Every structure is written in structure tokens, then in C-alpha cells.
Chain A
């Protein structure tokens, strides 16, 4: 058939471009080796793990009561958190987009939307324990309740909901912005009450978006390791069970099979979200707002909504403040004054604080430019070029989003501790900083790629084509046109991946060797031991570092960002 010539020519043109070919080959190797292979190993492991091919391992783990319990626990938590986080996120977004806010509440909203970016994953668990636990300030000293337990289902649910709702809030904000106000005005004009407008116009338009937000939160929740670890108590989730199976019971085959179960759940959710809801949620809202929305000034609507959101926001902020303050009290729960710097002192004098921060900082610092560059290259290839294996590259780098850190961690242990397929190849990287850097890169790649793709989609394809047409080769096009045009996205990818890496724990905790002391692992250890003041001291410094990084990024963006084009 005639089509063959076109495809053959495209292939020939591609082959005539050594830089492109090398890049593509390297990318595919990287993605296969460090994302697909570890997952494949888990599958193989769980099928042949106990000797003999079959579902023996699965049969075995499904007989472990703690495991089956963990599945129901995880699903219960995921569902509840999904509902809460989506509802609160939607409310926040609605209030911000529809209600006239005063400056103070608006400021609170901004802080809340920023917090999850800079915060390590378990900060809220720490402060939850410190505020509401047995020796919690609020429970014991304000309310006089002794023996209050925050550990367990509700503890995890509250903490995760508060951690994940800002993400939903930002998603809904984007969606609500794209609803043309004239649709709602038309309904109002025809006599619908404000509530009727919301329930009959706004809500149906948002429905796919709500499903989308729910599933995203669901995935995040069941993949979360740090919070259940700290505040779960004896309430085990899949992520913590897998961790214990491998670190406590040394049952690697069992852990692999459990990881496969967890992965199947997240993957299923991810596929539904990606291929069904995400497409639908943007398809219904393609219209651009034709004019500015009339904000609600009606006090009977405004006051309760604002009050609720402000309370939630303040609560979250207090929980964050709790962390540095907690590190300043001499003994949390018993002695509050005078404030002391001794815990911060001990971090450095007794607990090798300097090495901890140096290790974490250096590893994250190495991985972030790699991640940023890699995700920009992937986005460029996906959005701007056409070649056969493009679908593979896009799919695998997005797939990484659905892989819980714990699963990846187990995969790396099984996949690399004896080299590839036990052959000894690449065994050398196991237990070194290299593997940690790779995990950091893999964990941050999806977010970076997603932001890169959306940034590149904004850029008219013909701009790159024009450079290509003028005689630039692929590398020249990428470096002189693409990268300068998306440097904002690049810069934010740089910082996001740095922050994500330095606050990461789930995969890393399984792979870190004693030669590296990482902050998050330290915080986790101290929190496990009940040394909350020390955990807080570490966490405070960590928040400071991440906040400084974000600040630096914002300054950088202002200096080198979009402004350059318009300034001359």
C-alpha cells in the first residue's frame, strides 16, 4: 500500500538525525530499565517467588489476615478521603471563584494552595498527634481530655483529607474558570435560584471533573506511606503492610505479590481517570469565559461559606505552625516554657544534622536538573515530534504517576539487588546514591512531564517548524527555541522535583543504606520513637529549605521569566 512510502520516508528522516535517535534510544532504555523492569520483576516474583510457577504466593498472602484487612482498610480510607478532599476542594474553589472575598480570607486561600507544594508529606500527622493526641495541647490542656487517641482510621482520614484537598481545590479552580458565566446568568435570568443554578448548571458541568478529582485523591491516598506510618497506629494500610512485610518479615516474594495487588488497584483507578474522566472533564468545558463573573455578595450565602473555608484554612495553617513551635517547647505536652533551642541544637550536635541535610540536599540537588531536563525532552518529543515509539514514551512516563512509591521501592529491591534478572548487571548501583537519584527522578518525572506538555501545547507548532525550516537540526531547535520558550516550566520543574525529592519517603525508605542519612527517613524514625520535638525540629528545617527553594524559583521567574520578552 502506498502509505508505506510516507512512513518509510519519515523513518529515514529520523534516522538521518543522530541526535534524535540517540535521545530516543536513551530515553526508552531509561524508562524500560527504571520504570517497566522493576514492575515486571514484581510480577515475575509474585508468580514464581515461592518456587514453581503459579499463584501460590497470592494464595499465601491472601491467607494473611493482616493483609486482607489492609486491603479493606486502604480502600475504606481512599474512598472516605476521596469524598472529603473533593468536597472541601470544590467548596474552596467555588468560594474563591464565585464569592466576593475580603483580602484576609483571600490571603488564607493563597497560603493553603501553596502549602502542599512546600510541605513534607507527614507534617500534618505530626501536628495532629501534637494537637489532639494523648498529650495533645488541645485535647489535654484546653479540653481536659486525657487518653484521646488520634491513631487509626479517622486520624489518617483527617490528615490525608487536609493534605490532599488543596490539590482538588486547584483542579476545580481551573475548571470553574472555564465555565462561561453567561450560562449561569441565563439560568438565573430564567428564574432559577442560586442553589438551583449550582445544582442544575454548574454541578452537572463539573461532574466529570469531580470524578476526576475523586480518583486522583483516591490514588494519592492509597499510595500514601508516610501518614499511615506515623498516625495509623495498628491500623495498617497496603503501603505500610508491604513495608513491614519486607523489613519485618523478610518475605520478599510476599511483599512483591502485595505490591502487585496495590499496583493493580492504583493502575485501574489511573486508567479510568486518564482515559475516561480526564478527557470528559475537559471536553465539557472547552468554552472560554466570555466575560467576568458577577461575584456573589449576598450575605446569607457569603458569610457561612466564607466562614467555613476560613476555619478550615486557619486550621490547616495552625497545624503547620505547630511544627516549628513544637520544636521550641522544652518537653511537648508537659513543659512549654521557657522556649528552647535545644532540640534544634541536638539535631546538629547529637543526630548528625549537618550530614542529614547535606545528604538529602545533594541527592535532591543532583536529581532535580536531570528530572527537569528529562521531562522537558519527553514533553518536546511527545508534543512536537512524530515517531513510532512516541506513544510508548508518553505512556510509560505517565504510568509512573500511578505507581505508589512503596511498589517502586520493592521493585527496585527485587530488580537490582542481584543485578538485572539476577545476572549481576547493574548490581553495582544498588545501595549507592545513584539508585536513590534514579528513584527521585522517576518519582518526579510524571509531574514535570505533565507541566512540560501543557506548556508546550500552548506554543504554536509552527514556531519550532520555522526554526527547523530555517536549517536548525533537532538539537538546535530544542536548545535555541523550545527550551527558551518554556523556561518557566523548566524552572518550576527544577524546583518542584527538588522539593518532591527532598520530601520523598515511600520508595526511598526501602532503598536507603546506612551511608546516607535522609531527612524524611530521620523524621519518620523520630516520630515512630515518639520523639516529636526532634521530628519537628527536623521537619521545620526541611520546610525552611523547601520554602526557600520555592521562593528562589519565584524570584528566578520574575528575573528570567516571561518578562524578558516584553521588557525591551
Chain B
């Protein structure tokens, strides 16, 4: 595809809905600005009701923003109806046309664009081979598996060569194994075509696996934008830390700080940590501790008591109480390691560099 790649820009977008129960207005999306680079794969991630799907549907044109402007490339597209926008969407329920066969489904958009017959045939054949469905042209949609149907939906969106591909939780109807396989597929195809893609999901591992950039949304506003690595290791708040991966939060008080380091008092123990946020003595702080970032030892670190110890195969799952705080741990590759039992007291040990201070 030798089309000029286009990005998407949202300029202070808001969308207001009426709550059907209370009749009150609320912001589904509030004053959100985003820039999505041409050719990048960006994921909108968040719990249900966070505004991610509304945002996507506004980009597609199904919903109209109550404030702000949406740009596709340099063009303002607020007033364009979905059929006039150069976007193509892959729906959660696939939304294939059940009365048409695969070929007719994929060629639907091309026929509307009055593309010559020969060219339609050529382009459909090419795209079907890209999604590995060659030879299925004359099948009806209900003769395909869920994964195959999703490929058809993807092919149908790709074949019209849109500037932007939109995905609305495309894998949530598939079983876990297929989901993993399809997300790799989607990433491969996006890279091959080099198209701008905006992907909505509530599955954080899916988002991590395919995105160049993740936009985490919560209650209608953007919580954090960053690469999967950034977001995992440098979450801006507890919501993000908790939503991406598993996180334990240890509360403490800064007793000493300089530019590089702080000393935090946590559950009766002083811990030296990097000072990324410029905290001062007397501030309270929260430590984000990933389950794989700490181990249990006989001595050193924070005192704790084991309340659950469970062998999971690839790791040993512990729940320990550090003071009144429950901390979940995963000790990987537990073979030949000492296994702590429920009721034992021991010590929680972690490397200051592998935790994040909020």
C-alpha cells in the first residue's frame, strides 16, 4: 500500500451521556487530547465504562463528540459520517454480513467504491492470502470458526486500504489460546501493511503484546500514555499500577531524602529507595511492588508472615502479611528452592531498583 500514512489527533474531546437510571448527564469521555502517530499501533486500555470504546466510536464517526475536534491527518473530520471517513473498523462481534459469502463480504466495501471487477478480484485474493484464508471465498460466514471469522473481518477492513484501522475488542469472543495466536497475527499484519491502528481492549496482556503505545483510560480521562515497558515499570498512579499486571502497594513515610534517594519507613523497617518523584522528608509514599520483584528469605528486608503458599507449576504463589498489608508474590522456578509454609514468619526482600515509588 503506497498510501500516505495518516495519524489521528483528538483535540480536547468530550462526550456526554445521560445515565438511563438517574437521568443525569455524565462524561463518558472528558476533555481528552491524544496524538496517534502515523503507522503506529496504539491501544486504548481500561476497565469497562472507562470511555475507550466511546473514543473509538467517535473516531469512526458513530458517535459525535460534544466538545473538541478529531483530525485524521490534517483534516478535521467531526462532520463526516462513518461512510465518508477513511477509517475501517473490526468489530467485537465480527459483524460479518451473514447473507453474503466470504468473497462478497470482503469485496463489499470495494463494490461500494465502484472498483472495477478485475481489480476487486485481485485485491480480495491478495488480502485473503494475507490473512491466510485463501480458497475460502465461496464459504458462508457461519461455516467458519470464530478465529476465521475474525480474519475475514480484518480482511474486509484492510482491503479498502483505509488510513486508520480501528479494532473494537476484536478478540474477546475467542477462546484464550486462539486469542494469543490472533493477536500475534494482527500485529504481524499491521506491521506488514504499515497501517495506523487503534485498538480497544480491556485485556492488559493483549495490550502489552501488540502495542507500540498504550493509552490507559479511567472514568473518561486518560490516566497514562506510554510504551508497555514504561507503563509497567513507571505507572503514574495506583490505578495504572494495579490495572497493568499485578501490583502490591506498601505504604510508608519518607524519613530522609536527597536528590537521588529517599529513606522510607515501611512497617517498622527503613528502606532506601531511588527518589524519582522528588519526595521530601515527611511526605508519605507508596511503593509499587510487582509479585515477581521480591522473594522470601530467612532474614533481611521486611518482616512478614506467610498466609498462603501454593505450588502453581512454573512458580510458587505466596500471600504474606507485611504488618496489615497483604502482599502477593510469585517465586519463579521453585524447584530446589526452600518453600515457606503457611504460618511461618520470614522476610520480604527486594531490590530497590525493581520497585517503583509513587
A462 proximity list for chain B (CB < 8 A): 91-93, 95
Is there a chain B Cβ closer than 8 Å to A285's Cβ? no
**Are A3 and B16 also in contact (CB < 8 A) when A9-B78, A485-B99, A566-B142 are?**
yes
Q: Does B160 contact A (CB under 8 A)?
A: yes
Within 8 Å CB of A468, what residues of B? 62, 81-83
Residues B101 and A568 in contact, CB atoms below 8 Å apart? yes
Contact of A6 among B15, B95, B140 (CB under 8 A): B15
Chain A residues near B14: list those with CB within 8 A: 2
Whether B95 lies near A463 (C-beta < 8 A) is: yes
Tell me which of A4, A13, A465, A565 contacts B66 (CB under 8 A). A4
B124 at the binding interface (Cβ < 8 Å): no
Work out how many contacts link A and B, with CB atoms closer than 8 A.
108
Known: A6-B66, A16-B79, A565-B140. A470 touches B15 (CB 8 A): no
Interface string of A471-483 (1 = CB under 8 A from B): 1110010001100
Asked if B109 is at the interface (CB within 8 A of a chain A CB), the reply is yes
Interface pair B64/A6, CB less than 8 Å apart: yes
Q: Is the CB of A460 within 8 A of B93?
A: yes
Is B177 interfacial (CB 8 A cutoff)?
no
Q: Is B118 an interface residue when CB atoms closer than 8 A count as contact?
A: no
- Binary flags per residue of A399-433, CB closer than 8 Å to B gives 1, else 0: 00000000000000000000000000000000000
Q: Does any Cβ of B come within 8 Å of A10's Cβ?
A: yes
Q: Is the CB of A566 within 8 A of B25?
A: no
**From residue 89 to 136 of chain B, which have CB atoms closer than 8 A to chain A?**
89, 91-93, 95-99, 101, 108-109, 112-113
CB distance from B197 to the nearest CB of A (A): 15
Q: Is A174 an interface residue (CB 8 A)?
A: no
Q: Please determine whether B99 and A565 come into contact, CB atoms closer than 8 angstroms.
A: yes
Which residue of the partner chain, among B89, B97, B99, B138, contacts A469 with CB atoms under 8 Å? Answer: B89
**Cβ B93 vs Cβ A470 within 8 A:** no
Shortest A471–chain B CB gap in Å is 4
- Nearest CB on A from B139, distance (A): 7
Known: A3-B16, A4-B66. A9 touches B79 (CB 8 A): yes
Q: A529 on the interface (CB 8 Å rule)?
A: no
Contact of A13 (CB < 8 Å), options: B79, B93, B109: B79
The docked-state distance in angstroms from the alpha carbon of A47 to that of B86 is 58
Q: A6-B16, A13-B64, A465-B91 in contact; A470/B160 too (CB < 8 A)?
A: yes
- Does B112 contact A469, Cβ atoms closer than 8 Å? no
Q: Are A9 and B109 CB-contacts (below 8 A) given A2-B14, A2-B16?
A: no
Which residue of A has the minimal Cβ distance to B153?
A466
Assess the B82–A481 pair: CB atoms within 8 A.
Answer: no
Number of B interface residues, CB 8 Å? 44
**Are B83 and A473 in contact (CB-based, < 8 A)?**
yes
**A288 within 8 A of partner (CB):** no
Contact A568 B98 (CB under 8 A): no
A467 in contact (CB, < 8 A): yes
Give Cα A480–Cα B83 distance, bound, in whole angstroms: 14
> Given A471-B160, A566-B142, do A465 and B62 touch, yes or no (CB 8 Å)?
yes
Q: Which residues of A contact B142 (CB under 8 A)?
A: 565-566
A165 and B270 CA atoms in complex are apart in Å by 82
Are B139 and A568 in touch, CB under 8 angstroms? Answer: yes
- Would A470 and B109 count as touching, CB distance under 8 A? yes
CA distance A466 to B155 in the complex (A): 13
* CB neighbours of A484 from chain B (8 A): 99
Q: Chain A residues with Cβ under 8 A from B143's Cβ?
A: 568
In the assembled complex, the CB of A156 is this many whole angstroms from the nearest CB of chain B, namely 44
B6 within 8 A of A: no
Does B60 touch A at the CB level, under 8 Å?
yes
Tell me which residues across on chain B come within 8 A of A335, comparing CB atoms. none
Interface flag for B356 (CB, 8 Å)? no
B65: A residues at CB distance < 8 A:
5-6, 9
- A1-20 vs B: 1/0 string, CB under 8 Å? 01111110110110011000
Q: Is A466 a contact partner of B91 (Cβ separation < 8 A)?
A: yes
Q: Are A3 and B25 in contact (CB under 8 A)?
A: yes
> Is A564 located at the chain interface by the 8 A CB criterion?
yes
State whether B67 touches A2 (Cβ < 8 A).
Answer: yes
Chain A contacts for B98, CB-based, 8 A: 463, 485, 565
Chain B residues with CB under 8 A of A4: 66
Which residues of chain B come closer than 8 Å to A564, judged between CB atoms?
99
The answer for the CA separation of A566 and B142 in the assembled complex, in Å, is 7
Provide the residues of chain B in CB contact with A2, threshold 8 Å: 14, 16, 66-67
A2 and B220 alpha carbons, distance in the complex (Å): 15
Name the residue of chain A whose CB is nearest to the CB of B112.
Answer: A471
Residues of A contacting B15 in the complex (Cβ-Cβ under 8 angstroms): 6
Say yes or no for B52: interface residue by CB 8 A criterion: no
Proximity bits, B62-84, A CB within 8 Å = 1, else 0: 11111100000000001111111
Q: Give bound CA distance, A253 to B142, whole Å.
A: 61
Q: Does B87 contact A (CB under 8 A)?
A: yes
Residues of B within 8 A of A566 (CB): 140, 142
B92 surroundings in chain A (CB, below 8 A): 462
Cα distance A91–B96 in the bound complex, in angstroms: 43
Minimum CB–CB distance from A94 to chain B (whole Å) comes to 35
The 8 Å CB contact of B83, one of A9, A460, A471, is A471
Least CB distance from B29 to A in Å reads 11
Check B97–A467 contact: CB distance below 8 A: yes
Q: Using an 8 Å CB-CB cutoff, how does the interface string of A437-478 with B read, 1 for contact, 0 for none?
A: 000000000000000000000001011011111111100100
Q: Is the CB of A5 within 8 A of B91?
A: no
**Bound CA span A10–B58, Å:** 11
* Complex contacts, A481 vs chain B, CB 8 Å: 97
- Flag if A469 contacts B88 (CB, 8 Å): yes
Interchain CA distance A465-B53 in the complex, whole Å: 14
Q: Is B303 interfacial (CB 8 A cutoff)?
A: no
Nearest CB of chain A from residue B342's CB, rounded to whole Å:
39
Of the candidates B66, B101, B109, the one whose C-beta lies within 8 Å of that of A471 is: B109
Residues in chain A near residue B305, CB distance under 8 A: none
Whether a CB of chain A sits under 8 angstroms from the CB of B156 is yes
> Which residue from B79, B87, B138, B160 sits with its C-beta under 8 Å from A568?
B138
Q: How far is the CB of B166 from chain A (nearest CB, A)?
A: 8
> Which residues in window 1-49 of A have CB below 8 A to B?
2-7, 9-10, 12-13, 16-17
Q: Which of B91, B92, B156 has the most CB of A within 10 A?
A: B91
Task: Report chain A residues within 8 Å CB of B108.
Answer: 467, 470, 472, 480
Q: Are A465 and B25 in contact (CB under 8 A)?
A: no
CB distance from A16 to the nearest CB of B (A): 6
Q: Which one of A7, A469, A473 lies within 8 Å of B87 (CB-CB)? A: A469
B residues in contact with A17, CB < 8 Å = 81
Assuming the contacts A466-B89, A470-B112, asked whether A3 and B99 have C-beta atoms less than 8 A apart, the reply is no
Within 8 A of A (CB), among B3-48: 14-16, 25
A528 to B14, CA, bound (A): 69
CB-CB < 8 A to A9: which residues of B? 64-65, 78-79
When C-beta atoms are compared, the residue in chain B nearest to A476 turns out to be B112
Closest B residue, CB atoms, query A14? B81
Contact flag A466-B66 (CB < 8 Å), given A565-B142, A568-B139, A568-B140: no
14 A-B pairs with CB atoms under 8 Å apart are: A2-B66, A3-B16, A3-B66, A5-B64, A12-B79, A13-B64, A462-B93, A463-B93, A465-B62, A465-B82, A467-B97, A470-B108, A471-B83, A471-B160
Beyond contacts A3-B16, A467-B97: 9 other A-B pairs, Cβ-Cβ < 8 A, are: A6-B63, A7-B66, A462-B93, A465-B91, A468-B62, A470-B112, A481-B97, A568-B140, A568-B143
* Interface residue ranges, A against B (CB under 8 Å): 2-7, 9-10, 12-13, 16-17, 460, 462-463, 465-473, 476, 480-481, 484-485, 564-566, 568
A-B pairs, top 8 by smallest CB distance, nearest first, are: A9-B64, A470-B109, A6-B66, A466-B95, A462-B95, A2-B67, A462-B91, A6-B64
